[in-house]
Amino acid sequence: MVKTVLVTGGAGFIGSHTCVELLESNISVICVDDLSNSKQSVVDRIKSITGKELSFHKLNVCDETQLDRIFEMYDIDAVIHFAGYKAVGQSVEKPLMYYQNNLNSTITLLKCMAKHNVNRIVFSSSATVYGVPKVVPMNETADTWCTNPYGWTKYMSEQIIKDWCVATPNASAILLRYFNPIGAHFSGLIGEDPNGIPNNLLPYICQVAAGKLEYLRVFGDDYDTADGTGVRDYIHVVDLAKGHLKALEYIDANKGCQCVNLGTGKGYSVLDVVKAYQTACGIDIPYRIYPRRSGDIATSYADPKKAYELLGWKAERDLNDMCASAYNWQKMNPNGYGD
Ligand code: UFG
């Protein structure tokens, strides 16, 4: 049974929600994070939500000496690997920074795991590995190809883990391909806290709702979709976090490597999200149509069948819950974590 889990990048958006779910399932959590895109106060908030302790260590997963010390200190049963840079646009400007950090961290982690006989890993991958999909919904057998360095780091990390799994006796891995995680914990204590002006749709809408930004720029209304705006599979971050627990149960009982989509199977357009947000929060979201954003695709949504069949997981929260919880987080934390 998995009793103690090392969570890399555990102070981040998805990592913090996953730490909460782990602790609430009575799993001990060792969280490591270099706080390059997250805040120390997240750790206290996780503790106040759950009423449980977790061990936190500030370190970069690429630092083999420091990471090795963590494996020396604790009896780790499995790892959930979130740590990594994640801004698509920045990855195009600074590809080497992305390859160096995101690939080195995966390799260093697997080396430390091997040294300490830890052979179970859940990896935070992304639907970005499907590139421009030929058909939707996308299932796990769809072609993979990426359109930016961030995506390639996910693609290559997946390959590294697959190869490690073949070479390591009794190894088991799940590569979770997330669609578009949004929303926040219902407590309003943890949520998404982007640096500067948000790139992603929901954090941007939240800042328009808060009056920090004047209007939403809708990138393109001439896509081949019902209303012309881009369609995505938005998934509540709490549902996503729960998917990691199901993945842990699976790798505890099974060997080998599997990739699994985490999505709802439903696609919503940008304007659907704007409407849902307005309804859920009772706030008008002004928007203007802008040209398409470079690199965006028209439509992306998951075939989530494998997650249900293999892991017994499916998303339970709807778009209204996602918008309402994101708004609640924004209202309770106008400046994010602010420290
Ligand atoms: N959008 C706008 N205005 C904005 C921001 C976004 O109209 O200010 C639109 C986009 O054009 C797209 C949709 O909203 O149609 C969603 O955009 P996001 O930036 O929120 O999300 P993406 O689908 O572009 O990317 C997300 C993650 C990536 C991940 C990818 C996986 O940010 O890390 O999903 O499919 F790789």
d(CA 219, CA 290) in angstroms, rounded, equals 5
The pLDDT, as a whole number, for residue 67 is: 98
Do 84 and 101 touch, CB atoms closer than 8 A?
A: yes
- 15 Cβ neighbours under 8 A, 6+ residues apart: 7, 8, 9, 31, 33, 38, 80, 82, 83
The pLDDT, as a whole number, for residue 97 is: 98
Q: What is the CA radius of gyration of the chain?
A: 19
The pLDDT, as a whole number, for residue 1 is: 87
pTM of the model: 0.98
- Tally of CB atoms within 10 A around 51: 8
The pLDDT, as a whole number, for residue 339 is: 59
Compute the distance from residue 278 Cα to the ligand 1 centre, in Å.
Answer: 19
Given ligand 1 and candidates 126, 128, 200, 240, which is best to mutate, with the most ligand atoms within 8 Å of its CB?
Answer: 200
Residues of the chain with pLDDT under 50: none
Write down the domain spans for the chain. Answer: 4-185+235-264+299-316
- The ligand 1 atom at the shortest distance from the C-alpha of residue 130 is 35
Compute the distance from residue 200 Cα to the ligand 1 centre, in Å.
Answer: 5
- Identity of the residue numbered 45: R
- Identity of the residue numbered 304: P
- Identity of the residue numbered 312: G
Nearest to 162 by CA among 123, 130, 111, 116: 123
SS3 assignment, position 327: helix
Which residues are the active-site residues?
150
For residue 95, is the peptide bond before it cis, meaning its omega torsion is within 30 degrees of 0? no
Here the contacts of 90-93 (C-beta below 8 Å, separation 24 or greater) are 90/150, 91/148, 91/149, 91/150, 91/151, 91/153, 92/148, 92/149, 92/295
The pLDDT, as a whole number, for residue 29 is: 98
Compute the distance from residue 209 Cα to the ligand 1 centre, in Å.
Answer: 18
Compute the distance from residue 103 Cα to the ligand 1 centre, in Å.
Answer: 23
Instruction: Supply the CATH classification number for the domain 4-185+235-264+299-316.
Output: 3.40.50.720
Half-sphere exposure of 130 (CA within 13 A, CB side): 27
Nearest to 108 by CA among 33, 160, 51: 160
Residues with CB under 6 A from ligand 1: 86, 88, 126-128, 179-180, 199-201, 204, 216-219, 230, 232, 270, 293, 296, 300
Token pair recorded at residue 45:
């908030």
Residue length, the chain?
Answer: 339
- Residue 175 — φ and ψ, nearest 5°? -105, 110
Q: Whose C-alpha lies nearest to ligand 1, atom 29?
A: 128
Vertex 85 angle, CA 83 and 87, to 5°: 140
